[in-house]
Each structure stands twice: as C-alpha cells, then as structure tokens.
Structure 1
Amino acid sequence: MTSRGYDSAIGLSVQWQLFESRSISEVDLSITQERLIASLVQRLNATVGVNITYAQLLRELLPVPRDPATPLTPELTWRAATPAAAPAAAAP
C-alpha cells in the first residue's frame, strides 16, 4: 500500500475509534473512507498499467503467434558467466 493509502488506513482506524466514542461525526468518517478508497483505486490503476506495460514488453521480447491453437516452442537460452580462474595455492 502506498504511504498515502497506509496513512488513510491508519486515519480511518483512529477515526473509527473516535466515531465509536462519539468524538467524531459520520461525515468525517465518511470522508476518510472515501480517501482510502480513492487511494486504493489509484494503486489498482497503477498496478494494472504496470502489468499491461510488462505484458507488452514480454510480447516484444518473445514473439508469440496470434492464433492460440498454433504450437509455441520458444527457444530460450542462458549463457552463464565463466568462473574466474582460482588463485594458485601458496606453497608450504
């Protein structure tokens, strides 16, 4: 959760306690709830946007056929770095 969303959640918890003790109005509590929901919606929209961008990037990196019935045989390779030569052991 974003810092703003976290702050809203904490604020809602505190305001709920104040509401239960009749120290705060329903309007104030409702405003805090709206802010928390708005923050969560913004986070959800950002997450969806990132996921779409990531999917587009993957499509560019690993082209796949448009027809889902077409078999897919990707050829992925990985080249491991060659290990550095071990230092020679010192003579006793």
Structure 2
Amino acid sequence: MNEKHIEKKLREAVRGMGGIAAKFVSPGWDGVPDRLLLFSGGKAAFVEVKKPGGKLKPLQQKRKRQLEALGFKVYVLDGIEQIGGILDDIQTT
C-alpha cells in the first residue's frame, strides 16, 4: 500500500461524511500537511499522509508543532485503518 492509496481512501471517507479533504498547498511555506479536512459545524484539521511506517521530516515536525500551538489538530496518517479513528476524533472535538 502506498501513500497515494491511503490519501485516496481518506478523501473518499471524508466525502462520505459530507466533508471536504482539500489539498493544502502553501507557496513559500514548505512542510505543511497534505490535506485540510473541513466539516460542518466549523470542524477542521490537518492531515499529513505517509506511506506505512513513514515518518515526518524535521520541517514537517516543525509545521505540525506550529499548527498545534495555534490550536489546530494535526494528524499523521500512515494506514487506512487509522482513518476512522481520525475522523471520529475530529467530529468529537
């Protein structure tokens, strides 16, 4: 299973819940998470998708800390079995 497959499953699951899994690109601010998840009720979170067992690069770790310091949820997803738990967590916070 590769990163692209995991990301596709994430997009499908979010869409199935009525949400948006926008590709997050920020020119001039490297290391940002891959996806911005948006749901009704103003619920939002960032997701960095990795291949199974993949780790964040140092700049990605920094961006994760920065976003979390601002109060955003940031998840690292490296397997489709994690998708349900991540989406449940976003909905309950």
The two structures have a TM-score, normalised by structure 1, of: 0.21
Normalising by structure 2, we get a TM-score of: 0.21
**Bigger Rg over Cα:** 1
The answer to which structure, 1 or 2, has the higher relative contact order (CA under 8 A, 6+ apart) is: 2
Structure 1 or 2: larger strand share?
2
